[in-house]
Structure 1
Amino acid sequence: MIWVKAGRAILPPVAIYRRSFGSVIGGNPPERTAMADTPRLSVEKALEKLRKSDAPAPKSRTEQRAEKMDDLDEEIRRMREQRLRLERHQRKGGPAPK
């Protein structure tokens, strides 16, 4: 059934519904368009990709050594201060702090 309105052929609402979704009683199911084929990632892989992009650039051996030496120097300084505190406390004659 086709209606004509203002010189244009139009379909009645029921025909539009049947064309889009198939007839209510029997009939062929409507053709459905598939989504675009896009690769799907698991959540784990997606997080891994995000973490990789946020990770700092790898350091050269020289930078790694310098950083390690700085950490060791800091630890030596901390231990030296602790030793001096213990020696001062022992000279006063009191018990050593824990």
Structure 2
Amino acid sequence: MRYDDPLENDGYGYGHDHDRYSFDWNALPKVNDLLEKFTNETNTPCLIAGIRVGHWNGWVEWTGSYGIGADIENNVQCSSQTMLKVASVSKAIGSALIARMD
């Protein structure tokens, strides 16, 4: 499978690049609520999220952290600066990256 650059083929009907790479900041409270709800319902100790607007080398516009702590035993709080271990998630990420290669 070949990966198509979104600047070459948007596939979403956007007319301009600046339209394609935008985020409705009015939706941020809903995003916050959904991530908080997910963290609470799944008993996730620490969840860190970010929204990046722009092309693949874009920038992070917003980060948020949720949960009771990154390391509960040592009382380390969860924040957007917390370094988390990727663990088994790296297998899925690696597989997705390999699948994109031709």
TM-score range, shorter chain: under 0.3
Taking structure 2 as the reference length, the TM-score comes to: 0.23
More helix by share: 1
Structure index of larger Rg: 1
Larger relative strand fraction: 2
